[in-house]
Chains A and B, each alone.
Chain A
Amino acid sequence: MDADRKLAQYYLQHADGWLVAQLDVCARCGICAEACPFYLGTGDATHTPIRKIEPLRRAVQENLTAFGWLRSLFEKGGSSAQEVSDWVSEAYFTCTVCNRCSLACPMGIDLGALIQLTREGLAAAGMTPHSLADAVRRQDATGSPLGVTRTLFENRLDWLRQEEGVDLPLDVPEVDSLVAFTSIELIKFPGNLAAMAKVMEAAGESWTLSSTGRESVNFATFSGDTEEQTEFVRRLTEAALELGVKRIILTECGHAYDTVRRIASRLYGLPLPFEVENILETIVRFLREGRIRLRPDAFAGQRITFHDACKLQRLGGLIEQPREILHLVAPETFVEMTPNREAQWCCGGGGGVLASPEADEIRMKAFLPKVEQLERISPDAVVTACSTCRLQFLDGSKYYDMDIDVRGITEVVAAALETETPKGA
């Protein structure tokens, strides 16, 4: 099988001391299984995280270990079509690359990075699932994985300006901030754009949207296509450089924050020619500079909880910011799920899983640990800063018939903005 050889070749080309150490150290204890929502939701041992890197492990074992070499003298190599299809399914459909397993691993194996490398190999060998490969192609051609062309984008902004009466500046040079939304927000959560405009106006921030750097989602991160991944980041960063902004603000997207920071620093070196800020950091900056104020009674009587997104919190370190914000808008009624912060349970929708119809059934099972967490505190609303998590929560709460509001943090902040000077001040 040709693709099979290509796959092993990719892994061997990318084999370094890091990879060898990660694979050498595994004691095959299986503790990672307990940390995975896909294992926990299904009880199926085949979804144990360490098994999701099987093609990678096999390539290294067969080519870079003494026993592997010995064994290759007696055994004929090659993998069956069934095995290969299993590898694809385990790497793409039963993993959100949330990296929770890495924290549970007694050896500290960086499983998330290993699974990402596994995907990169599968992508290089042309084995990416169609749904993801198509989305990457669409993003390449139209600028958005959902097919939001420049015209569609501009029409959508016009509609929002009329409907919501907000200012959405486009392609304005020399302002402070370039805001990049996700197509998901544009199509499914347009309220986020209006909310953002209100927050920016209240803070007096000079900002713009860009018609060329308009997409923060990077489907090539999901598929593992490293060339396209860099290309999509480049479109955004070049727009920022052309406009001469001080910073790029990324809105409610999980993976964009890490992807843009990592790839931009590879493209331009450190320090970056612009800051990369997540919306959570932006809001906290406005609060600390006294540029916006939030009403503590905005959600009076509503129990509000926060869902930590794997890419923003566990991988991004933006852990205290959302709590700082929510403690202001719901000082009495903010409740934490347990576990939370870096140990949170992943929603089961990220990493491209939500975009793969093949994973529809299993991603609802992976939502089960979340259901359990929510049931323990029965909140009125769950707030998140990632649009994929938000979609998964909407699907999940419907599927499990839960009466719970799902909100994006920007909308929460916009709804709590103090617009008038308080009485007596």
Chain B
Amino acid sequence: MDWLEFFRGPMFQIALLVFILGMVYRFLRIVLMGWKKDYSPPRGSAAAGVVKTYVKGLGFLPFLPPKFPGTRHRPLTYIAGGMFHLGLFVVIFLSTPHMEAWRSVLGFGWPTLPTPFIDGFAAMSMIGMIILLSNRIVSPVGRMLTGLGEWLNWIVVFLPLLSGWVLYHHLFGMPYQTIFAIHMFTVDWLLIWIPFSRISHFMTYFITRTMHGAKFGRLGVEP
């Protein structure tokens, strides 16, 4: 078994298992620990608040930050965050090779985007990440909130994107097998890393957003 086969085969399966078990643990811990119910008389609909908060949080704020009053000084952090996440989502789910990988795990596939689009989204995602990292280095607030964990998270997410990019463009004249093996290794490592890190916010986000929308909706305030 060569390295590529190992990283695509047993190592990938182990990584996937760690990822799934870890995320299930994180999810169950939150649900089983429970939370206090708000007993005060409602002034509005919690459900409407949840819907609004997703429309705003997923579709609106990341791309039109000047509309939001909290970001007038550094709209770039917001835009870069939107660029990075959207790009990453498209690359992971809508590129053909990745869909094929999903198909091998899930057993079904879906339509994908033409490669040049994917290429653009990948570039956008990486540029977004570089802007976010520069912000962590340049701004005093960013510096204060950035520790070893944040650096490691950034590297662990950036490497699969970069290696995928090198793989697709056949850069640096590296043998296909080698760079593919590197790409798979970085992906495995990312999967293992996620449940132990703040990157797990891809799941927790939906919990806290829902709570946020429900709270503000109940108060009768635009979330």
Contact = CB atoms under 8 A, between A and B. Distances in A.
Contacts of B222: 341-342
B72 interface: yes
A35 B140 contact: no
Given A48-B145, A109-B208, A319-B221, A34 B72 contact: yes
A17 interface: yes
Contacts of A50: 145
Q: Is the interface of B mostly helix, strand, loop or mixed?
A: helix
Given A270-B39, A341-B222, A45 B141 contact: yes
Given A17-B33, A33-B141, A45-B140, A343 B69 contact: yes
B198 interface: yes
B204 interface: yes
B39 A108 contact: no
Contacts of B140: 45
Contacts of B221: 313-315, 317, 319, 342
Nearest to A39: B141
B139 interface: yes
B30 A21 contact: yes
Contacts of B36: 16, 18
B77 A30 contact: yes
Interface residues of A, number: 59
Given A45-B140, A269-B39, A342-B221, A25 B205 contact: yes
Given A34-B72, A315-B219, A342-B221, A265 B34 contact: no
Contact of A26 (B26, B32, B198): B198
A271 interface: yes
Contacts of B207: 21, 25
A45 B144 contact: yes
A107 B219 CA distance: 19
Contacts, number: 158
Nearest to A264: B40
Contacts of A73: none
B211 A110 contact: yes
A423 interface: no
Interface residues of B, number: 61
A343 B74 CA distance: 17
A31 interface: yes
B117 interface: no
B156 to A, nearest CB: 14
Nearest to B197: A67
B70 A104 contact: yes
Contacts of B109: none
A34 B71 contact: yes
A107 B142 contact: no
A288 interface: no
A164 B214 CA distance: 46
B31 A100 contact: no
A16 B33 contact: yes
B41 interface: yes
Interface string B183-223: 00000000000001010110011011101110110011111
A360 B140 CA distance: 25
Interface in B105-163: 132, 135, 139-147, 149-150
Contacts of A266: 39
A27 B57 contact: no
A313 B216 CA distance: 11
B213 to A, nearest CB: 7
Contacts of B172: none
Contacts of A315: 219, 221
A53 to B, nearest CB: 13
Contacts of A317: 43-44, 219-221
Nearest to B145: A28
Interface string B60-85: 01100000111111100110010000
Contact of B144 (A24, A48, A66, A343): A48
Contacts of B146: 28
A134 to B, nearest CB: 29
Contact of B40 (A33, A104, A262): A262
Contacts of A425: none
Contact of A25 (B40, B196, B201): B201
Contacts of B219: 315-317
A24 B26 contact: yes
Contacts of B220: 317, 319
A265 B215 contact: no
A29 B145 CA distance: 7
Interface in A307-359: 313-317, 319, 338-339, 341-343
B196 A66 contact: yes
A159 to B, nearest CB: 36
A20 B29 CA distance: 8
Given A110-B215, A266-B39, A30 B139 contact: yes
A51 interface: yes
Contacts of A300: none
By Cβ-Cβ distance, the 5 closest A-B pairs, closest first, are A104-B70, A108-B212, A317-B220, A18-B35, A35-B70
Given A51-B145, A262-B40, 16 more contacts: A16-B36, A17-B34, A24-B30, A24-B201, A28-B150, A30-B141, A30-B142, A30-B145, A31-B71, A67-B196, A108-B57, A108-B223, A266-B39, A314-B221, A342-B221, A343-B69
7 contacts: A17-B34, A18-B36, A24-B30, A29-B77, A45-B141, A104-B71, A265-B39
